[in-house]
Amino acid sequence: MNKLSYYQKIQSSFILLILLPILIISILSYKTTKDNVVEKIELSNRSVLNLVSKDITKLVDDLYYVTHFYVKNEETIQILNDFSETEKIVRYRDYQNYHKVIASFDYISIKMLNADIHMFLINNKGFIVPYNNGISVRNASLTVLKDHWNRLQNRINVDQSSHLQALGLVNYLNQEENSYYYFSRVINHPENGRPLATLNIGISNEYFKRLFESDKTGKLALFDENGKLIAGDPSISFMDEDKRNREIRDEVLIPISKWRLIHETSNEEVTGQITKNFLLSSVLIAIFFFIFLLISLLIAKRLHRPIQKLTHVATQFGKGKHDVRFLPEGRDEINELGRTINHMLDEINGLIEKIEHEQNEKRAIELQALFAQIRPHFLINTLNSIKCSLFINNDYKHADKINALMSLLRAYMKIDEPATIESECKLLSHYIEIMKMRTEVNVELKVEMEDQVKNISLPKLLLQPFIENAIVHGFSEKTAGEITIRANKMDQSIFIMISDNGKGMSENQLFELNRMLKSDFEQTSYNRVGLMNIAKRLKLYYGSNTDIVLQQNENGGITIVIQIPFDGKRGEK
């Protein structure tokens, strides 16, 4: 995003802040609507499935009741025993037995009042006795029943008489509208097990068609326990092998018969219109988005034009064209910014002119400084000639004084360069030689320092004011004196102690000086300026972890203790 221009960022913001929310809302709305519709369809399908399964369950219960009656009723068993070997009616007894069988149907008539079910008994000789309820006889003539029986008898297991056998579909002359799904029950004598008759019950395919037509949002299929289709849509599979969720599927198991009633609704059927509406809405959104994008391009380009002008002005000014300016065309924020930039460029031009003038003056001053440097060098060279002349004339005393003075002059000329503790102490010896001549006080300098602190970095001429104070103030009433400088390292600090055997000072004076050294160096008297300057230089050079303490010593003079931090990275020079 940082690599995009301001114009591109405006366009990207338009797209992200407008298109993205619309897409998210549209997708969420589509998904929510789809989930709600699918949920309602699933509830509706479950309701239809329950109603249809209840009807089929009642029918199966009736079938089991009928067949159970024929197997368990002793009077019916006796009637079937007398009729089991009747091949045709030739005697009055045969006629009586035939009518007794028909009369036995009266016991079950209340359970079989259904125009879509027909039932017939057939004895061991193939004699068919149809159940006549005034309805089924019209739908199933003896010719049809004989044809059905010829197709069914090979499917019946005569050794299986303990339960109702499902035999599958049978149609007459391959006509689908006359197809029936048959159940059979082999009836044996309960005492000797001799076959008496076979009870066959057929359920018309029209029954299932009408029952399944009640479903308006999908398709139904009824399967037996072996997965063979009984009725319904053949496109429905017994097992749910399609895991891609292309169908909304629900199923229920019919009690006793172990039939499985399955309901399926195509996802396309449920969500097709919703998807079409979503796609249509997406197309309309896309069209309006592109129209908006074109308009936004024009608006953004117009908004961006003043920024381009400002960029051009800044670029040209940076290339050295200092007279270029922004031309305001209105009172909006960009044009106000342009006016401000124009003012700023004017100020920059003024600053450039001022800097050029200052640079010219600086060059003139540097030339003057260069000329001024000739004078100290001239003085040092002159002193060096005098020193040589004195050495030639064996005046070593004054030659040493001249040499000490030259060392001090060189140090003053290089005041900004750092020194070491060792070099600073050598310089102090030259300073004392000069002070001996000026004050006529015989001062002896002793230096004691550890090897590990000799090369510790120290600001140049830092210790000289302490020596000067000791000579001028401490030895003002003496003709001789001794100054000792000790330097050592302790823990992470360097301690420099400067001791003299001068007249010292009172406790109050020491207390006041130490208090000022601990303060922020304000309200300092003129007499203490040198001491305060040393404290400031230490703070600037080493930081706040420095300390200067003045204290009385055993010789009656003053000992100055300077503590500076030891830094291994910059401590040694």
Mean pLDDT of 301-307: 75
Which letter, b or e, does each residue of 356-387 get, where b requires 16 or more Cβ atoms within 10 Å of its Cβ?
A: eeeeeeeeeeeeeeeeeeeeeeeeeeeeeeeb
484, 459 contact by CB (below 8 A): no
- pLDDT, tens digit (0-9, with 9 covering 90-100), for 519-573: 754 555 445 567 787 888 788 888 778 889 999 988 888 999 999 988 754 455 5
Q: What is the pLDDT of residue 378?
A: 54
145 contact partners, CB below 8 Å, separation of at least 6: 118, 120, 128, 130
Dump pLDDT digits (tens) for 412-433: 666 667 788 888 888 888 888 8
Which whole number is the average pLDDT over 447-457? 89
**Continuous segment of H or E residues that includes residue 504:** none
- Two structure tokens written together for 498: 């400067």
> Among 1-15, 288-302, 343-357, 507-521, where is mean pLDDT lowest?
1-15
Angle CA(54)–CA(55)–CA(60) in degrees, nearest 5? Answer: 95
Choice between 458 and 405, residue whose per-residue pLDDT is larger: 458
Which spans in 183-264 are helix H? 205-212
Average pLDDT over residues 40-61: 84
CA separation for the pair 360, 115 (Å, rounded): 124
- Decide if 93 contacts 85 (C-beta within 8 A): no
Rounded to 5 degrees, φ, ψ at 230 are -90, -50
Q: Residue 456 pLDDT more than 60?
A: yes
pLDDT at 526: 42
Which pLDDT value is given to residue 330? 75
pLDDT in tens, 125-146: 889 888 875 444 444 578 888 8
Could you report the per-residue pLDDT of 70-100, keeping only the tens digit for each? Answer: 888 888 888 888 888 888 888 888 888 888 8
> Given pLDDT bands bounded at 50, 70 and 90, which one contains residue 496?
very high
Which tokens go with 316? 């040209």
pLDDT of residue 162: 81
State the pLDDT at residue 488.
92
How many residues does the structure list for the chain?
Answer: 573
Task: Please state the rounded mean pLDDT for residues 427-446.
Answer: 83
The burial of 565, by beta-carbon neighbours within 10 Å (0-12 exposed, 13-18 middle, 19 or more buried), is given as middle
Structure tokens at 393: 């004339």
3-state secondary structure at position 512 = helix
| % helix, strand, coil for the chain, step of 5 | 55, 20, 25
Write down the number of H helices and E strands in the chain: 14, 16
315 touches 21 (CB < 8 A) = no
Q: Band of the pLDDT at 367, cuts 50, 70, 90?
A: low
- What domains can be seen in the chain, in order of their start residue? 40-212 (3.30.450.220), 446-565 (3.30.565.10)
289: which strand partners?
none
Report the range of poorest mean pLDDT among 229-233, 347-351, 393-397.
393-397
pLDDT of residue 528: 59
Beta-carbon contacts of residue 332 (< 8 Å; ≥ 6 apart): none
The CA distance from 342 to 454, in Å, is: 60
Please report which confidence band the pLDDT of residue 3 belongs to, taking 50, 70 and 90 as the band edges.
low
Q: Write the burial class of residue 210 (CB in 10 Å: 0-12 exposed, 13-18 middle, 19+ buried).
A: exposed
Pair of tokens at residue 211: 């029952």
**Closest residue by Cα to residue 46 from 248, 221, 233:** 248
CB neighbours (10 Å) of residue 441? 19
Q: Give percent of the chain with pLDDT exceeding 70.
A: 83
More confident of the two residues 88 and 116: 88
**Partners of 117 in beta bridges:** 203
Name the pairing type of β-strands 480-490 and 442-449. Answer: parallel
C-alpha closest to that of 548 among 565, 563, 558: 563
Helices marked H in 213-332: 267-318
pLDDT band (50, 70, 90) for residue 212: confident
Q: Give the whole-angstrom CA distance, residue 417 versus residue 406.
A: 17
Q: What is the tens place of the pLDDT at every residue in 310-320?
A: 788 888 877 87
**pLDDT tens, 117-127?**
888 889 888 89
Lowest model confidence (mean pLDDT) among 48-52, 220-224, 438-442: 438-442
**Is the model's pLDDT at 172 over the cut of 70?**
no
Band of residue 362 on the pLDDT scale cut at 50, 70, 90: low
Task: From 534, 564, 536, 563, select the one nearest 463 (Cα to Cα).
Answer: 534
* Residue 379 pLDDT class (50, 70, 90 cuts): low
User: 405: closest CA among 421, 387, 418, 417?
Assistant: 387
> What SS3 state is found at 220?
strand
Q: Quick one: how far is CA 336 from the chain centroid?
A: 41
- Among 38-47, 441-450, 527-536, the range scoring the smallest mean pLDDT is 527-536
Distance CA 125, CA 83 (A): 10
Which tops the pLDDT comparison, 106 or 563? 563
Q: Look at residues 179, 202, 171 and name the one whose alpha carbon lies nearest to residue 63.
A: 202
Residue 528 vs residue 168, higher pLDDT:
168
CB 517 within 8 A of CB 546: no
CA torsion sign for 366, 370, 375, 376 is: positive
Tell me how far apart the alpha carbons of residues 381 and 388 are, in angstroms, rounded to a whole number.
Answer: 11
* Strands lying side by side in the sheet with 558-565: 442-449, 480-490, 493-500, 558-565, 547-552
Residue 78 tokens read as 């006796």
Average pLDDT, the chain: 79
Q: From the centroid of its chain, how far is CA 195? A: 79
| Banded model confidence at residue 364, pLDDT cuts 50, 70, 90 | low
Position 58 scores a pLDDT of: 85
